[in-house]
């Protein structure tokens, strides 16, 4: 039982990160129908920037804040320099562009930072809390709490503010939104900035537990995408649910089956969902099939 | 005054003029290769070009993306390495057996995967590539794991071709590349090719026109996988050593970049893209650390400003200059 609980804790922790990546996918996809393959890089940038700012002598809270600001800046630049100029391009073209952005950011991180694994100090110590024989790291609570705050804040933003409603309107029907006076360009920009910020926060929160390096982004993107389609692409609640489920499935698979192949689980989930449950659990837009 | 070429059509026909031109370039090129280093670059470019010509069939002609083609390349490479090195098979037989296994695998995987489109297909192929990478890295007893494994020299009908014999390897790779291009061009001009172009234009229209969309996509997926596998087998023998890097995500992206850079739906463009992308880092060693940055930038810039790629754009430019 304590073993199961232990796997559940670690599954929830990584699951919360996948959920935040999946939320990033969802926000950009809803606003622009672009799947941003560079989504995982924002998590990497958040983690790596705060590590290097910290080692440059910046206090931790300030370093984390700066890391998120840097990621948001890169997200906005990605939109302005790579997505906006290719407006109206085919899906394959946009995929190649965001893949290009992902490789570019990886390459830059490798040059600006380095190729080592890095960690951050845990925010409130490393003394585990014992629950029914399973150890729970305090940092796990930070990750889960951070994810919860983000979900609540996004819920409030999308349903209670005018800007948020403009984003929702654009997601439903871009032309109609434009006709009633929504600045669609601004909405697109906002969604890139927002999802970069969320990714970076996830990176900052989870780095003390899982470490980070310049190349963690690709795998995170794949798993975040698995989470997004498991929940139903386009559904924010689905992204969160999908993220947690992928995280738990992975932790259980690593614990009970094979830790060497734990990364394969997300891929298997992608295939199973696409073949048997194309709308995902919470019924997003159906996966395009021939 | 410009005398119109009597054989303009002959030259313009990629299957005759183009192939003759490529053969000419391949024959003349060694004159300009001053030493072994340049031979080495040319051989690597040729090997990459074989895989890229195949991938271009899938991306350029059928309009289906694959972010996992290094997986097939790697299976070919490791298949040859394990069968010849560990089990003592003749290299040619090992190459064919690996290609056959890759074809069967691509057929089995392709059937479900190719029903997906766009982002879903991209993610599914990306995942497939990562899965192959994972298996090759983890099964240490067979593949040597992350440390890689040695590969015996290629040996064709009793002639042993070690990687040190650059001239012989150049000739072999040039022949294989010509064969690869010739097969690809014939395929493009066959009913399969016409069906592919139709489904690239509009899948719905192609289906209405009686094209079995799923069937043709699957055929081309299998063919492009076999191209990658053969290129992988040859590379493994040439290099004499392979590591999981050949199977990795970055290598898949390199292959896609070569297609995009040379020009989608241009077989000769694929060769140009491969040659440029292999040669560039060799001569810009000072920028070694910036290799990934360069790959990414090329992908973005090509897709925004040079969507048709180097070769088709250059040909357009020349045509526009002619009265």
Q: Provide the pLDDT for residue A162.
A: 92
pTM for this predicted structure: 0.86
Grade residue B127 by pLDDT with cuts at 50, 70 and 90. confident
- Cβ within 8 Å of residue B67, ≥6 positions away: A99, B122, B123, B125, B126, B129, B249, B252, B253, B256
CA distance A172 to A167: 9
> Degrees (nearest 5) of the Cα angle B262, B265, B271?
40
Beta bridge partners of A136: A129
Q: Are B294 and B257 in contact (CB under 8 A)?
A: no
Q: In this predicted structure, which of A131-145, B111-125, B230-244 has the lowest mean pLDDT?
A: B111-125
> What is the pLDDT of chain B when averaged over all its residues?
86
For chain B, the domains span 37-321
Residue A40 · residue A224 · CB < 8 Å: yes
State mean pLDDT over B207-234. 90
- Strands of chain A (E only): list them: 129-131, 134-136
Whole-angstrom Cα distance, residue B165 to residue B143?
Answer: 26
pLDDT at A153 over 80: yes
Query: What are residue A233's phi and psi, to 5 degrees?
Result: -60, 130
Q: Which range among A18-32, A209-223, A276-290, B36-50 shows the weakest confidence by mean pLDDT?
A: A276-290
Chain A residues touching B284 at Cβ < 8 A: none
Quote the longest CA-to-CA distance of chain B: 70
Q: CA geometry: angle at B133 spanning B282 and B84, to 5°?
A: 80
Position B305 pLDDT exceeds 90: no
pLDDT at B228 over 60: yes
- The predicted pLDDT at position B4 comes to 41
Q: What is the pLDDT of residues A14-57, one digit of tens each?
A: 999 999 999 999 999 988 888 898 999 999 999 999 999 999 99
Q: Would you say residue B252 has pLDDT above 50?
A: yes
List domains and CATH numbers for chain A: 2-276 (1.10.3470)
Nearest CA in chain B to A218: B249
- Which CATH code of 1.10.1760, 3.40.50, 1.20.120, 1.10.3470 fits the domain covering B37-321? 1.10.3470
Chain A CB contacts of B307 under 8 Å are 89, 93
As a whole number of angstroms, the distance between CA B90 and CA B88 comes to 7
- Res. A290 pLDDT band, cuts 50 70 90: very low
The reply to whether residue B299 touches residue A274, judged by beta carbons under 8 angstroms, is no
- What is the distance between the alpha carbons of residues B77 and B149, in angstroms, rounded to a whole number? 11
Lowest model confidence (mean pLDDT) among B149-158, B283-292, B299-308? B283-292
Task: Look at residue B5 in the predicted model and tell me its pLDDT.
Answer: 42
The answer for residues whose C-beta is within 8 angstroms of residue A200's C-beta and 6 or more apart is A42, A43, A45, A46, A49, A67, A68, A70, A71, A72
What mean pLDDT is reported for chain A? 89
Mutation site for A-interface testing, chosen from B62, B63, B123 by largest number of A Cβ within 10 Å: B123
Euclidean distance between CA atoms A231 and A254, whole angstroms: 22
List, for residues B48-81, the tens digit of each pLDDT value: 999 999 999 999 888 888 999 999 999 999 999 9
Q: Give pLDDT, residue B121.
A: 86
Residue A99 contacts by C-beta under 8 Å, 6 or more apart in sequence? A37, A38, B67, B122, B253, B256, B299
Q: A-chain residues within 8 Å CB-CB of B120? A: 229, 274, 287-289
Helices A184-210 and A60-78 cross at an angle (nearest 10°) of 140
Q: Give the pLDDT confidence score for residue B10 in this predicted structure.
A: 53
Would you call A289 and B304 a contact, using CB atoms and an 8 Å cutoff?
no
- What is residue B295's predicted lDDT score, i.e. its pLDDT? 86
Res. A285 pLDDT band, cuts 50 70 90: low
Q: Any idea what DSSP says for residue B211?
A: -
**pLDDT, tens digit (0-9, with 9 covering 90-100), for A164-173:** 999 888 888 8
Percent of chain B past pLDDT 90, that is, above it, reads: 37
The rounded distance, in Å, linking the Cα atoms of A13 and A120 is 16
Q: What's the pLDDT score for residue B323?
A: 58
Residue with tokens 């585990």: A128
Separation of alpha carbons A197 and A70, rounded Å: 9
How much is the average pLDDT of A211-221? 90
Q: Which of B115, B126, B128 sits opposite A289 (nearest CB)?
A: B115
A286 pLDDT higher than 60: no
């Amino acid at each position: 039982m304590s073993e199961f609980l232990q796997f559940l804790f670690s599954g929830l922790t990584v699951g919360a990160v996948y959920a935040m990546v999946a939320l990033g996918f969802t926000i950009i996809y809803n606003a622009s129908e672009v799947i941003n393959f560079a989504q995982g890089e924002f998590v990497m940038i958040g983690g790596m920037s705060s590590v290097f700012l910290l080692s440059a002598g910046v206090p931790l809270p300030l370093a984390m804040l700066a890391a998120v600001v840097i990621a948001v800046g890169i997200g906005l630049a990605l939109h302005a320099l790579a997505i906006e100029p290719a407006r109206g391009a085919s899906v394959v073209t946009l995929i190649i562009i965001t893949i290009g952005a992902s490789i570019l950011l990886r390459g830059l991180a490798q040059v600006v930072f380095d190729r080592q694994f890095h960690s951050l100090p845990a925010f409130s110590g490393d003394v585990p809390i014992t629950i029914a024989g399973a150890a729970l790291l305090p940092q796990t609570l930070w990750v889960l709490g951070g994810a919860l705050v983000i979900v609540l804040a996004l819920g409030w933003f999308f349903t209670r503010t005018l800007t948020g409603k403009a984003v929702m309107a654009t997601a439903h029907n871009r032309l109609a939104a434009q006709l009633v006076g929504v600045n669609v360009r601004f909405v697109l920009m906002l969604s890139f900035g927002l999802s970069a910020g969320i990714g970076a926060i996830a990176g900052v929160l989870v780095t003390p537990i899982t470490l980070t390096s310049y190349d963690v982004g690709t795998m995170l993107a794949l798993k975040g995408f698995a989470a997004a389609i498991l929940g139903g692409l386009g559904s924010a609640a689905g992204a969160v649910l999908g993220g947690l489920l992928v995280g738990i499935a992975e932790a259980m698979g690593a614990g009970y089956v094979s830790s060497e192949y734990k990364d394969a689980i997300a891929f298997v989930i992608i295939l199973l969902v696409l073949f048997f449950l194309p709308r995902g659990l919470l019924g997003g837009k159906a996966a395009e099939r021939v | 005054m410009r005398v119109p070429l009597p054989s303009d059509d002959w030259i313009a026909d990629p299957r005759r003029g183009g192939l003759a031109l490529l053969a000419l370039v391949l024959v003349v090129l060694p004159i300009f290769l001053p030493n072994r280093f340049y031979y080495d670059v040319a051989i690597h470019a040729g090997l990459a070009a074989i895989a890229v010509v195949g991938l271009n069939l899938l991306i350029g002609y059928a309009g289906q993306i694959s972010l996992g083609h290094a997986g097939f390349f790697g299976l070919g490479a490791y298949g040859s390495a394990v069968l010849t090195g560990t089990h003592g098979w003749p290299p040619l037989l090992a190459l064919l057996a690996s290609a056959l296994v890759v074809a069967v695998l691509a057929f089995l995987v392709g059937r479900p995967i190719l029903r997906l489109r766009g982002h879903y297909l991209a993610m599914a192929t990306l995942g497939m590539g990562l899965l192959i990478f994972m298996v090759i890295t983890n099964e240490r007893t067979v593949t040597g794991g992350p440390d890689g494994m040695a590969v015996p020299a290629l040996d064709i009908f009793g002639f042993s071709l070690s990687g040190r014999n650059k001239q012989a390897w150049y000739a072999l790779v040039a022949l294989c590349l010509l064969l690869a291009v010739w097969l690809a061009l014939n395929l493009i001009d066959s009913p399969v090719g016409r069906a592919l172009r139709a489904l690239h234009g509009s899948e719905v229209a192609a289906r209405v026109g009686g094209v079995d969309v799923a069937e043709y996509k699957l055929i081309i997926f299998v063919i492009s996988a076999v191209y990658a596998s053969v290129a992988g087998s040859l590379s493994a023998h040439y290099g004499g050593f392979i590591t999981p890097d050949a199977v990795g995500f970055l290598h898949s992206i390199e292959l896609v970049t070569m297609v995009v850079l040379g020009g989608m739906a241009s077989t000769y463009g694929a060769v140009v893209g491969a040659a440029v992308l292999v040669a560039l880092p060799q001569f810009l060693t000072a920028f070694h650390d910036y290799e990934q940055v360069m790959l990414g930038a090329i992908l973005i810039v090509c897709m925004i400003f040079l969507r048709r790629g180097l070769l088709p754009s250059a040909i357009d430019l020349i045509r526009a200059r002619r009265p």
